Structure 1
C-alpha cells in the first residue's frame, strides 16, 4: 500500500497513466462508428473480458492481502469481524446496480422522443469512481512497481471504454457534450489528489475493494442484456488473453 510520499519519477509515471485514462473518455466518441451499434462490437466484448479477468486475477487476490489491515481497523466491532474488504466490494457492486436499475425503470416510463432523466446522478457517481481509480495509480506503482502500474492502467483504460460506451448509449447528448470532459477531468483530479493527500492503508484497501465490485457490475451490465447481442466468444477471448498476460508476469 501507499507508504511513502511520491518522488518526481513516480509523479511523472502516474501522470502519464492518468492522462491515458483521461484520453479514453475524450476520444471514445470518435470510435463510435466502429464499435457502436447492435450487435455489440467484438472489441467492446473483448475489453469487457479483459476488465473482468483483471478483477478476478489481480484485484481480488490483492483484497485478500488487505483483509488483515481492515480487520485491525475494526477490531473493536462485534458485527464486523471478517471479510471487510469483500463487504466494500459488495457495496461497490450494489451502488452501481442501483444506478443501472434506476435507469432501466426510467427508460420504461419515457416515450422514445423524451430524454432519459438521471444524467447528472450517473455522471456524479462516475466522476467519484474515476477519481478513485486515478487516486490509486500511485498506490499501484508503489506496491506493484512499473509492471503493476502498466497492468492497472491498461485494464482501467479498457474499462473506461466500456463505461463510456454505456453512458453514450443511455445519454448520447449529455455524454458527448459534458460527460466525457468531466470524466476525463476526474481521473486527472484523482491523480492530483494522490500527489497532495495520502491516506492510510485501510482506506486504500476500501477504495480498491469498492472499485473491484463496481468494475464487475459495470462490465457485466453492458454484456448481459439480450438486446445488446453481445459476443460471448470475444468476451471469452479477451478474458483468456488478459489472464495469460497477468499469469505470465
Structure 2
C-alpha cells in the first residue's frame, strides 16, 4: 500500500519534472499550445476556489471556535483572508516588476536583475509548494493527489510565463532552479514538523499567491478556443473535486 509520505515524494519529483520538461509544449502549434495552457489554468482556478480556499477557511474556523493556538493567532476566522491578501499583493508586485521591465523589450536572453528577482520570488513559491506536499490540511492520498495535480497544472502555466518573459535565460538556468526548489522544499517538509497555526498561515499565503497567478497568468486572452479550453479545465476539475 502506498503511504502519503511515499506519494508526496513521488509528486515532488513530478512537479519538478514539469519545469524541466514543459518546454516541449513549444513543439505544438501555437493554437494547441495556448489551448493546453488555458486548460491547465482552468484546473488551477477550480482547485483554488472549490477546494483550497474552503479548506483554509474551515481549518481556521474550527480553530477559532475551539480556542486553540490558531484561534488566538487569527482571533476571528476572517483574519486568515488578510494572509490570503498578502500572498496576492506580493505576487502582484513581482508581476508589476517583470511587466514594467519587459514592456518594451523582447524576452531576455541574459540573467538580468529582473530575471534574478523573478526567479528568487518563485524559488520561494515553489519551495512552499514542495514543503506543503508533506503537510496537507486534509488527510489522505486523495487530498494530496488533488493538490499535486492542480499545482502541476499551475506550474505548467508559470513555466510558460517565464519562457515568454525571459527566453533563453530561463531555459538555460531558471527552470532548473525552480525544479530544484520544489525538491528542496519537499525535503525540508519530509523531515520537519509544523504546528497548526503556521500550516494555516502557509496555506493561506499560497492561496492568495495562486489566486493572483491564476488571474494574471492563467486566464486566457479573448479567444473562443482558449476560453472553451479554460472552461473545460474548470468544469472537469470542479466536477472531480465536488463528486470525488
TM-score over 0.5 (shorter chain):
yes
2:10 — aligned with what?
A: 16
TM-score (norm 1): 0.85
- For residues 49 and 132 of structure 1, the distance between their equivalents in structure 2, rounded to whole angstroms, comes to 22
Q: Residues 196 and 40 of structure 1: is their aligned pair in 2 closer, same or farther, counting only changes over 3 Å?
A: same
Which of residues 175, 181, 189 is equivalent to 1:186? 181
Alignment of 1:207-246 (within 5 A): 207-224=202-219, 226=221, 231-246=226-241
Question: What 5-or-longer segments of structure 1 have no aligned partner?
Answer: 1-7
Q: What secondary structure is seen at the aligned counterpart in 2 of 1:139?
A: coil
Asked if structure 2 preserves the Cα contact closer than 8 Å seen for 1:18 and 1:187, the reply is: yes
Match of 2:58 in 1: 65
Aligned length: 237
**1:99 corresponds to 2:98:** no
Cα displacement (A) at 1:33:
2.2
Match of 2:79 among 76, 84, 87: 84
C-alpha distance in structure 1 between counterparts of 2:125 and 2:94, whole Å:
13
1:204 aligns with 2:196: no
Contact 2:115–2:166, Cα closer than 8 Å, also in 1: yes
Deviation at 1:10, TM superposition (A): 3.5
Q: Which runs of 5+ in 2 are unaligned?
A: none
Q: Cα–Cα, structure 1 residues 84 and 241, in superposed 2: closer, same or farther, change >3 Å?
A: same
Q: CA 1:81 to 1:39, structure 2 compared with 1: closer, same or farther past 3 Å?
A: same
Let me know the Cα RMSD of the aligned residues.
Answer: 2.7
Whether 2:164 is the aligned partner of 1:169: answer yes
| TM-score, normalised by the number of residues in structure 2 | 0.87
Distance, in Å, in 1 between the alignment partners of 2:154 and 2:117 is 20
Does the Cα contact within 8 Å between 2:88 and 2:211 map onto a contact in 1? Answer: yes
Whole-Å Cα distance in 1 between the matches of residues 105 and 153 of structure 2? 33
